[in-house]
Amino acid sequence: MQTEKNIIETKINLISDKEWLINNFDLVHKDCTKVAEMTAQNLLNDFKSKYPNDVNGEPAYCGFAWVVVYDVKLNTKLGKAMKACGFKKNYGGGISLWNPSNYHGQSMDIKEDGASAYANLLSTYGFKAYMSSRPD
């Protein structure tokens, strides 16, 4: 059985092989998306269990959340692989992926947690990835 340390060491070894990352970014994206979706769903389930009579059914602070990745340009091989997964130029610098948790509600809290989970996992692959958000 692999421990968390072994898994991280394996990822670090993969990071050193940029070609692997370029050729398999779609798998990395799917992995990060799955974690983001599960994180968002868990937060929503926790909210509903704590506040079963809430009229909104979710935390009421509306807004948006996304992931920003720095030091990757869309005209590189890696950037093109990321663009194929939905990343676009971020006008504050870097590239971004909006709503990586695919949560279609209004809650910024849920979207932020999903985006944070995506960014944190993407960071383990060696990316400078951060969650960003703004209220609606």
Is the pLDDT score of 103 beyond 70?
Answer: yes
pLDDT at 111: 98
Starting at the edge strand found earlier in the chain, the sheet holding 95-98 runs 88-89, 95-98, 63-70, 128-135
DSSP symbols for 5-52? HHHHHHHHHHHT-HHHHHHTHHHHHHHHHHHHHHHHHHHHHHHHHH-T
Q: Which domain holds residue 115?
A: 4-135
What's the pLDDT tens digit per position in 20-72?
899 999 999 999 999 999 999 999 999 999 999 999 999 989 999 999 999 99
The number of distinct structural domains making up the chain is 1
Is the pLDDT score of 6 beyond 80?
Answer: no
Whole-angstrom Cα distance, residue 114 to residue 49?
A: 19
pLDDT at 67: 98
Given a contact cutoff of 8 angstroms between Cβ atoms, the answer to whether 69 and 129 are in contact is yes
- Give the pairing of strands 63-70 and 95-98: antiparallel
At residue 17, what is the residue type?
A: D
- What Å distances lie between residue 50 and 53, 73, 101, CA to CA? 9, 43, 22
